[in-house]
Amino acid sequence: MPDDDRRRREVIEQWMLATIGNDEIRRFGDLHIDKIESGWKGREKWIEGGLEAFRMAKALRDSNRLPFAVGLGFSLDSGDRPRGVDFHGREEFRDSLNWSPPSLYLFHRGEEPDTQSSNASVQHLDPAILGADDTLRCYYLEFKQEGTNEYSRSVFVEG
């Protein structure tokens, strides 16, 4: 295994075990991909880097026999009114990303964001939009931030 992959896996595994041990799952403790690999800081690397980190996290979850769903969240540009899914391909999706790099999450099974967001608009997406494996769950969430006029938007990939 190349040193870069070994180091990335160590960072992800340490985060996973700490997140579980500190019950950060309930507080949506995340790991931004630029903390895993400095080469993933640039927006042009966010989709590919995020999916690579996601694949590694799923493999580590399975090898450690952890009973959690792994999620990869992408934050999108938001506004003062609902926008819905306004992208239809990978480049349009990349153009919709906001300033924050994607993050890994762990969720208790059955408590993923699309099942817990009663005030959110949820739309299931074809993972091919991101270039992801079609066996993964992919969905769009949009909800009004409490106490503001802003609608937050995210896309999650889960497995």
Per-residue pLDDT of the chain (159 residues; tens, 9 = 90+): 678 899 999 999 999 999 998 877 777 789 999 999 999 999 999 999 999 999 999 999 999 999 999 999 999 999 899 999 999 899 999 999 999 999 999 998 888 888 876 778 899 999 988 887 777 899 999 998 887 888 999 999 998
Helix or strand or coil: residue 155?
Answer: strand
Residue 127 CA, chain-centre distance (Å), reads 13
Q: Are 46 and 97 in contact (CB under 8 A)?
A: yes
Alpha-helical runs (H) found in the chain = 3-21, 46-63, 90-96, 113-116
Here the tokens at position 11 are 């960072």
Q: Are 93 and 129 in contact (CB under 8 A)?
A: yes
Q: Are 143 and 118 in contact (CB under 8 A)?
A: no
Distances (CA, A) of 80 to 37, 87, 97, 145: 33, 18, 16, 10
Quote the pLDDT of residue 1. Answer: 65
Among candidates 73, 85, 151, 96, which has minimal Cα distance to 122? 85
Q: Are 35 and 78 in contact (CB under 8 A)?
A: no
Quote the pLDDT of residue 120. Answer: 82
